[in-house]
Structure 1
Amino acid sequence: MSDLESIVDRFEIEALRGEFTDAAMMYDYDRLASLFTQNGVLRFLGANIEQVGREQIRTGSKQLQGQWDYFVQNTHPGTIQLLGDTAIGRAYMSELIRLRDGKSYLNYAVYHDRYQRTEEGWKFAERAYEVRYLDTTPLAGSAPHTAEAEAQTQ
Structure 2
Amino acid sequence: MFTGPETDRLALRELLDRYSDAVNRMDADAWGATWADDAVWRFRGGEVQGREAIVATWRKAMAGFDAVWFSAFPGAVEVSGDAATLRTHTFEYLHPAAGPPRLQSGTYLDRALRTPDGWRFVERAFTPKEMKL
Q: What's the TM-score once normalised by structure 2's chain length? A: 0.90
Distance across 1 between alignment mates of 2:74 and 2:82: 21
> Of Structure 1 and Structure 2, which has the larger fraction of its residues in strand?
2
- SS of the residue aligned with 2:11? helix
Amino acid at match of 1:108: S
> Of Structure 1 and Structure 2, which has the larger fraction of its residues in helix?
1
Taking only the aligned residue pairs, the percentage that are identical comes to 27
- Kindly report which structure 2 residues correspond to 1:43-62, keeping only aligned pairs within 5 A, or say none: 43-44=42-43, 47-62=44-59
- Kindly report which structure 2 residues correspond to 1:10-49, keeping only aligned pairs within 5 A, or say none: 10-44=9-43, 47-49=44-46
For residues 17-65 of structure 1, what are the alpha-carbon distances to aligned partners after superposition, in whole Å with 9 as ceiling and x for unaligned? 0100011111111121121111011111xx2322211111111111000
Distance across 1 between alignment mates of 2:16 and 2:117: 15
2:102 to 97, 100, 105: 105
Distance across 2 between alignment mates of 1:51 and 1:18: 22
Q: Which has the higher contact order (CA 8 A, sep 6+)?
A: 2
Q: Bigger shift: 98-107 or 10-19?
A: 98-107
Distance across 1 between alignment mates of 2:46 and 2:62: 14
- Residue in 2 aligned with 1:68? 65
- Residue in 2 aligned with 1:86? 83
Residue 126 in 1 paired to residue 126 in 2? no
For the pair shown, which has the larger CA radius of gyration, 1 or 2? Answer: 1
Distance across 2 between alignment mates of 1:23 and 1:98: 16
RMSD: 1.7
Distance across 2 between alignment mates of 1:107 and 1:48: 15
TM superposition outliers: structure 1 runs of 4+ over 4 Å = none
